[in-house]
Amino acid sequence: MEPIQFLKKLINENGNSDTLKEHLEILSAQLSRIENKVQDLETENAELKKRLNEQKNRTESFASNQHHSSHCGHCGSALLKKTESSDSPSFSEAGIKDTTYQCSACGEKVAF
Ligand SMILES: [Zn+2]
């Protein structure tokens, strides 16, 4: 029940001032708990926004690195031949694809 509706209900049901004082204290304690909860949620929300932003930066960095890391991870050769391309399981929402290459120097398959 909303705190204000709760207070109105209490006033209607119990009209004397001692009871009202007691109920106002209960209400005050409830408001305090709600304020603490809001504070906790605001803190958590700020932390989640920060993490989302960091993740976004990592995704953008990963995407831009994709165009530059075109060397074989096994022998270091730049002689890579594209063999296949598929949606990245980790970054498909960002439109990033995993591309597989075959190294012409050592024959190993390399995925970016
Ligand atoms: Zn190689």
The residues spanned by each domain of the chain are: 1-68, 71-112
Place of tokens 């007691």: 22
What is the tens place of the pLDDT at every residue in 23-70?
899 999 999 999 999 999 999 999 999 999 999 998 888 777 665 567
Q: CB-based contacts of 44: which residues, under 8 Å, 6+ apart?
A: none
Distance in angstroms (rounded) separating the CA atoms of residues 111 and 85:
9
Compute, in angstroms, the gap from residue 105 CA to the centroid of ligand 1: 5
Q: Which pTM was predicted?
A: 0.43
Distance in angstroms (rounded) separating the CA atoms of residues 63 and 83:
19
What is the tens place of the pLDDT at every residue in 77-99?
888 888 877 776 666 667 777 77
Compute, in angstroms, the gap from residue 67 CA to the centroid of ligand 1: 18
Compute, in angstroms, the gap from residue 84 CA to the centroid of ligand 1: 17
Q: Which two tokens stand for residue 74?
A: 């096994």
